[in-house]
Amino acid sequence: MKQTVLITGAAGLIGGYLVRTAPRWVPDRDVRGVTRNEVDLTDGPEVQRLWDRHRPDLVIHCAALSRTGLCEQNPAQARRINVEATRLLADLARDVPFIFLSTDQVFDGAKGRYVETDAVHPLNVYAQTKAEAEQIVLANPAHVVVRIALTAGTSPTRDRSFVEDMVRTAAKKMTMTLFTDEFRCPISAGALVRALWEFAVQPRGGLYHLGGRERLSRWEIGELLAGRYPELRPWIHPGLVADYHGPPRPPDLSMRSDKIQALLSFPLPGFREWLTDESPDGGDLWDYPPTESR
Ligand SMILES: NC(=O)c1ccc[n+]([C@@H]2O[C@H](COP(=O)([O-])OP(=O)(O)OC[C@H]3O[C@@H](n4cnc5c(N)ncnc54)[C@H](OP(=O)(O)O)[C@@H]3O)[C@@H](O)[C@H]2O)c1
């Protein structure tokens, strides 16, 4: 009998990619994606019924309130889904592998090139709830936290990835200031979920970082994206965090992914590599399904 994998947040960017790519990367698994329309994960009895219905052999928990602004506006809701729903699912999954997606934002960005042993210091509600959930998940030594980096791709609702945000902002003819002194390790959703699937079928408990190989400034990311999405070009311009007045922004959230890389069959690509990959399998491999403007 096929093993069952439960994916939460299946209508989101990463859950959506996991479900769509499952036939390619894990054809021998029965993958069930669950959306908020089907089950509200903050509703305990509903979650219990979901569990009893599927009895999964593996859980990849992608559901979250993932927008930092919405978490600031509604910290109680952020806690309910990001912390309490995670606690409930991790408890139900106590005897099976459980993979929780966390974020590079648990760091304050003062150091950069973060490794798994570095101390966290979240600067916003979103990051605080994720850091708290990490501790709950890691209390079970068989369970896994994967902190993922800024992820590019096409979401089912076309409004979730940072690339989709930028394209929509440009369509509204709004200018975007991209900092030359703020750094990330972006990755394409296609590469990210390929790595997640490879890891998920032989998970080893603990904490992992998963991001692109290349550390890039926000401005460099924007310039690279403008090569593929020329409509961005007139609306992006460089700036300095020093000139920005607003809530605290972590300057350098770059992460090292060596620990998970050692378990993968392919090299995690840099963002530039993904955007310029013209090989026959390139778009499919890194960005599945390929974005329309490729
Ligand atoms: N994408 C990134 O760049 C990135 C970077 C670092 C970490 N992460 C983490 O990776 C995970 C997946 O991210 P993502 O980009 O795929 O996020 P996403 O696109 O926002 O998807 C999250 C999904 O969770 C669902 N959800 C929210 N509240 C729920 C509830 N009460 N019950 C059931 N489902 C609920 C959302 O439903 P609705 O569609 O109805 O809102 C959405 O479909 C998240 O944990 C996120 O924090 C993402």
277 inside domain: yes
**Percent of the chain scoring above 70 in pLDDT:** 94
Q: How many domains are there within the chain?
A: 1
Tell me the pLDDT tens digit for each residue of 151-165.
Answer: 998 888 888 899 999
Q: How far apart are CA 97 and CA 196, in angstroms?
A: 13
19 inside domain: yes
For the CA of 189, the closest atom of ligand 1 is: 1
pTM reported for the whole predicted model: 0.95
What is the mean pLDDT of the segment spanning 189-197?
Answer: 94
Structure confidence at residue 71 (pLDDT): 97
Pair of tokens at residue 143: 């369970």
Q: CA-based angle 29:83:144, to the nearest 5? A: 40
Tell me the pLDDT tens digit for each residue of 70-124.
Answer: 999 999 999 999 999 999 999 999 999 999 999 999 999 999 999 999 999 999 9
167 inside domain: no
Q: Looking at the DSSP assignment, which residues form a beta bridge with residue 61?
A: 8, 100
231 inside domain: no
- Tell me if 12 CB under 6 Å of ligand 1: yes
- Bin 70: left if φ > 0, else alpha if -120 < ψ < 50, else beta: alpha
| 3-8 β-sheet, strand order | 29-34, 3-8, 58-61, 98-103, 144-148, 206-210
Q: How far apart are CA 181 and CA 200, in angstroms?
A: 34
Calculate how far, in angstroms, residue 11's C-alpha sits from the geometric centre of ligand 1: 8
Domain with 282 in it: 3-157+185-213+253-286
Tell me the pLDDT tens digit for each residue of 251-267.
Answer: 999 999 999 999 999 99
Structure confidence at residue 279 (pLDDT): 55
Structure confidence at residue 22 (pLDDT): 94
Structure confidence at residue 293 (pLDDT): 36
Instruction: Name which residue leads in pLDDT, 85 or 247.
Output: 85
Q: How far apart are CA 39 and CA 89, in angstroms?
A: 13
245 inside domain: no
- Tell me if 15 CB under 6 Å of ligand 1: yes
232 inside domain: no
- What CATH number does the domain containing 116 carry? 3.40.50.720
47 inside domain: yes
225 inside domain: no
Per DSSP bridges, beta strands 187-188 and 151-152 are: parallel
